[in-house]
Every structure is written in structure tokens, then in C-alpha cells.
Amino acid sequence: MPNIYLCVLWHMHQPFYKDLISGEYKLPWTRLHALKDYRGMVRVLEDFPRIHQTFNVVPSMMVQVQEYAEGRASDPFLKSALKDTESLTEEEQGFILRYFFQADPVRMIGRYPRYAELFDTWRAADRNVVRARRMFGVQAFRDLQVLSQLAWFDEDSLAGDPEVRELALKGRGYSAGDQALLGRRQSEFLATVLPAYKEFAERGQIELSTTPFYHPILPLVCDSEIARVSRPDVPLPTRFRYPQDACLQLERARRYMLEKFGHEPAGLWPSEGSVSDEALGIAADTGFRWAATDNGVLARTLGVLAGAAETYRPYVWRSGGRELRLLFRDQFLSDLVGFVYSKVEAGQAAGDLLNRIRDNCRLILESGRDALVPIILDGENAWEYYEQNGRPFLRELYRRISEDSGIQALTVSEALERMEPEPLGHIFPASWIGANFDIWIGDSEDNQAWEYLLAARRTYDRVTQSPEGAALSRENKELALEELLIAEGSDWFWWYGPQHDSANRPEFDRLFRDHISNVYRALGLAPPEELARPILRVPVRDFHVAPSGPIQPAIDGEVTSFFEWLGAGVYRVDIRSGAMHGRAPLARELHYGHDASNLYLRLDFEPLALTALAGAEVRISLLAGPDAAIPVRLVIGEGGTVACEPAAVAAAFGKVLEARLPYAALGIEPGRAVQFQVSLWLEGLPMDSLPAEGRLKCRTATPADWYG
């Protein structure tokens, strides 16, 4: 009987946050994700021996984990968390207030009532440090110091470490001793990360693949002009062409994996799934036997839409006497795990994923062919949006797979041994995002960063090959090269340009410029003056305008006049994403307003989404006081019909979706404040939420409220 081979690859990655000259780690995310994700994602497999998976380990991430475990790493966030609360300076208190709420408000902060209480106080102070300091006493600061760290401990630690569990149960009123205990436990816990990977790899339950050492976009390092293949009109910086650096990044990764885990990896997840013929050739020459990327790249390579029949099979790339097995991830299924299933119950999510896999594979199996289903995604950032760090979902998923004789969860190498590959003589040069390289090159900020990198790279070549370079110590030359390799990493360019947002964007910008500056310092030169100025120029801010007057639009699914929604509030969906690149939203804008008797809503959709909305459900959750939320459902039918619950609600769908919600029919008293959130569901799964967090606010009104 034909089989379904499910290959899940978890990509474990963080940027290199260490300044090699100062020795300080500028940001804490490697440490925090090591507490929450890296070991726990492997350890959860202990109870499911039939589940085999591939873990992609980025060497520059694991180097940082090891330094923390050995007490050789420190960052200002950890120092602030462990410092005696009574001796905090005003500057340190401000640092704690600005940065110690950087966690998901619902799943992480909300899990600890005291943490949520402190977060509410911070918001009540309008996130103003001076105002908040007057509202935070010594005990509040200490509780925040402890809870901001405790929230990142994974489920295994909370269940298996009595002292950490006791801290979680204590909840508030922490002592200086509690701070110190949490600091010790962090180091002890981080020391168990690498051994967990080694143990499960040795028993054969996981395969370890890797990525170029500092996570560069290999095709761009080989030749930045390759970006023109997918985007002929893209503005590019001066050509960067250093394939020898790409080779070094790969060789260094293989040596690291051999040293730490006892064998060189067979598999490669190229940073961001970025591939080109030149990059694949270097990977094959370096010793890799397989690599993976995205089915968007496969579609551009084959020149056809890559459905299940094309995606669910292995390929072999051959060129110039070299070959490399390839598999192409199912982006849709991967994105469901990364962005959608966190919003639904664990059993429902696991069942939906497996049902989709079976449905996708049905015709393949009926043809007598095995199906290889590749699901590949970030193994860390998604879980903070799941209940209990995603463990209920993973356990339910693994249990169901273990009990299903038709699905075998295999490592990539295991699956490749069982299926004959289809030949490919060429690969389309692109990354997994949009089947191009737009995230990392082409925007003015990106291009300026590439110019700085190129100038430093050329300076390194000139100095080290010149007579004066002979006077430089070997250590300084090695330091300069190391900083160059770090600066080639994809993460700095991820945060440049308009696509992604983070409260730490200025820190990432400064880190990149510091790494470039360190190249010059290591070579005995003064860094160029422009490296002291930020590259960031694109302002990042939400777009939200509150209602300014009453409205009474016609509910016909059309914007019949500019004036009918004049005075409405507007919430525009922010298309930027954070550490994980999200799928494009279906809904683009929400307009809302009211008169004395009704709340009016209008959803504007992305044009390409309009034809895919038959069967979609719009859920509106209304709050008008302390009582339970009032649910409203709008189901879009064929031909643009809309079924409404309750029936007193009126709605129409055409170019937009418009709805009128009568206050009286919904039991909302005149003059009451109303809060609401709108979500869009497809096939029983939540796709968009407006706003993404919290609710929009308005109130019932009469003309006198506006004009009196």
C-alpha cells in the first residue's frame, strides 16, 4: 500500500547578538528561547517514539546557548533581571519598564495574573516611564524582574523542577532569593540544550541538519545581482560577489556540527530557503546530500502551479557533475502551524492538519505513489502565541500520528531513502518569501546596509593583502573576518525596509553597524563616520483613526458614495510582521461608526481575496459592559448573500462587506460604551483578526453627543 511520509523540520535560529570586541550580548532572545523552545521541542518527543523529525540547528545560535550555559555570556536584560531591586537606578528602572513586557500579552503575560496586573499598570501609565515609576514600588519591580524571566521557562521546567514550579505557583511577592534562584536555574537549564539534541540524534529519533554558520542569504553572498532574475526592475546596490564567503559559511557549519554532535550533517536548510544554482553547487561540493526550500520556488522552477502532486515528492538537482536531493515544503500547511492553529483548540488544530494532509494525498495514493509531505517552519517563535507554549497541540498531533497506520513521521533522510527522486537540471533563484529576495535587498535601507558591508569587505581584502597588513596579528585578521561573516547574516536585513516590525529594530540596526565598525577596528582603522548614524529611515506606526461623527451608510455591499462613511473610524491592517514572516492578510481595512441606534461595520478585502470568500464567516465579538461578549456571525454565501445571526443584523457583500448591528436587538443600552473585535474564518479556521490584539472602542450616540 502507498504511504504518507510526513517530514517535519523545525528550524532553530537566532541572530548573533554578541559584540565580539566588548563581549556583551546586546539582546536576550537566544537565552530566552533556549529556556522556552530549543530543548523542550526535542524532549516532547520522548513520549512518542514513532515520531521521527528533523531539527535544523544554526551553529551561531548554539554557540550562544553554550556560552550562556558556561557562564561566559551576559546581556543587559539578564543583569537587570537579577540586580538587587532596591539598588536599581532610575535609568535601570526605565530599562525594565520598556523591555520587560516584550512577550505575548495573552499567552505569556496573561498566564501569570501578577504579570498581567503589572502590564495593565504600565499601559495605564500610557507606557510613560516617568509616570510608571510613580506607580511601581520596590515589590512591583521585583515581581516584574522575576515574572519576565519565569514566563519564558518551558513546560518541562515548570513540571519537572520543583523549585521553578514553586516560583510559578507563588505568583507574586518575590524575594531577592527568588531572583537569584531563577538566575541559577537559567544557566543550569541552558546546559541541557545541546545534550538533548545529541541524545535524540544518537537514538535515531531526530536528524540534525544545519544552515550556513551565521545564517546568510547564500545566493546574495555568491552574487547579489541574482536578485534581478525574480525582479528585473529591482534597484540593487553595488554588486557583492563573494562565493568564497558562502563556501566558508557552509564549511564552518559542517565543522561545528561534527565537533558538537559527532557527525557532519547530510541536510541543509539554506537560510530562509534561499537557493540558486551557484549556492546549491557549493553546498554539494561541501558535502551536503540534501537541501530544502519552498514550493513557491518549485513553482517558479517548473513553470507551473506547484500543487500536492508536484510538492509531495523528492527531487534531485544535477549540474556540472554534482547532485543534491531536494524537497520543497508545503507553505500553506507550514503557515497553518505557524500562524493559525494557535487560535483554535489543540485537538481541533491537530485534527484539521491531519485531515488536510490526507485529503491532499488522496489522489497521489490512489495513483499508487507514495507521498512525501514536507512541513518546515520556525521551531521557536510560533509557540508563544499558543496555549501552554504549544505543548497541548504538539502532544495531540503526535499522539494522532502515532495511532495512524497510514502516516509515518520520518526524518528527511529516512524519507529520501524510500522514494525515487524526480530530476531537476536547474533551480529558480529565490527565497521562500514571495519566490524572490525582496526582504533582504532592493529597499533603500537594505541597499545601504549592503553598501556598508561591501565597503568593509573590500577594506579587509585591501588591508590583509597589503604590506601594512603583514604587521597585523593573526588574531586581529581572524576577528575582522569573523565580524564580516556575522554581518553577512540575513537577520540584519530582515529588519531593514518596510516589511517587518519589532520594538528592537533600533538595536538590530545598531548591532549591524557595530559589527561592521568592528571590522575596521580589528584592522587598526577608524570606522567610517557614517556607521555612527542609523540606517533605519522607514517610520513604523499603526494606522487607526477614531470615529469623528455619526454615519448612516446604505447596507448594500458597495461604497456608493464617499460621504456615506465620512466620519467613520478606520483601522488598517498592518501588513508588517515580526520575527516570523506572516501570510498576506485577506482583510485590508475595517471602517466602523454609529448613530443613535446602530453600530455600522465595513470590511474591505484584498482584491485577490474577493473570489475566495464564499463560505467565509465573519465573527464579531461585542462587549458592552462586564457581561459576556455578544456574538454576531455573518456567513458569506454563493453569489454574495450573507446569512446573519442574530437575524436582526443586516449585512451585504459585494466589493466590500457592510453590516448594521442594531443596539436594541443586541441588548445594548443607549449611551453604553461598546468594544468589539472582528475576525475572519475560512474552513473553520481563524485567518484574520481586526485588531490583532484587544478591541476597538466606540459608544452609542445621539446627534447631541456629536454636535451638542
- Quote the CA–CA distance of 350 and 375 in Å, as a whole number: 14
Predicted pLDDT of residue 699: 67
- Quote the CA–CA distance of 702 and 595 in Å, as a whole number: 6
- Quote the CA–CA distance of 580 and 432 in Å, as a whole number: 12
- Quote the CA–CA distance of 516 and 65 in Å, as a whole number: 23
3-state secondary structure of 373: strand
> Vertex 258, ends 256 and 262: CA angle to 5°?
135
- Asked if omega into 631 is within 30° of 0 (cis), the reply is no
DSSP 411-428: -HHHHHHHSPPEEES---
Grid-cell match 510538492, residue found: 311
Predicted pLDDT of residue 704: 47
- Quote the CA–CA distance of 626 and 647 in Å, as a whole number: 24
Q: If we measure between CA atoms, which residue out of 12, 36, 56 comes closest to residue 389?
A: 36
Predicted pLDDT of residue 424: 97
Predicted pLDDT of residue 562: 65
DSSP 308-358: HHHHSS-EEEEETTEEEEEEEE-HHHHHIIIIIGGGS-HHHHHHHHHHHHH
- Quote the CA–CA distance of 357 and 342 in Å, as a whole number: 18
CB 656, CB 592: distance < 8 Å:
no
- Quote the CA–CA distance of 2 and 368 in Å, as a whole number: 6
Count of C-beta atoms within a 10 Å radius of residue 139: 13
Domain residue limits, the chain: 1-69+210-438, 71-190, 444-532, 543-707
641: cell is 448573500
Q: Look at phi and psi of residue 347 and say left if phi exceeds 0, alpha if psi is from -120 to 50, else beta.
A: alpha
Q: Does the domain made of 543-707 have the CATH classification 2.60.40.10? A: yes
pTM, to two decimals: 0.83
> Vertex 534, ends 533 and 540: CA angle to 5°?
155
CB 190, CB 31: distance < 8 Å:
yes
CB 128, CB 80: distance < 8 Å:
no
Q: Which CATH number fits domain 1-69+210-438: 3.40.50.10480, 1.20.1730.10, 3.40.50.720, 3.20.110.20?
A: 3.20.110.20
CA distances 457 to 1, 18, 251, 521, Å, are 56, 20, 19, 13
Count of C-beta atoms within a 10 Å radius of residue 347: 14
Please provide residue 270's backbone torsions phi and psi, each rounded to the nearest 5 degrees. -60, 140
3-state secondary structure of 602: strand
Predicted pLDDT of residue 705: 47
Could you list the mean pLDDT of each consecutive 10-residue stretch along the chain, which spans 708 residues? 96 93 91 94 96 98 96 93 96 95 94 97 94 96 98 86 94 96 93 96 98 98 97 95 98 98 97 97 98 96 94 97 97 94 96 97 97 96 93 97 97 97 97 93 95 98 90 94 97 87 84 94 93 78 75 88 81 61 72 88 83 87 81 88 92 92 86 85 78 77 45
- Quote the CA–CA distance of 393 and 350 in Å, as a whole number: 6
Please provide residue 69's backbone torsions phi and psi, each rounded to the nearest 5 degrees. -60, -35
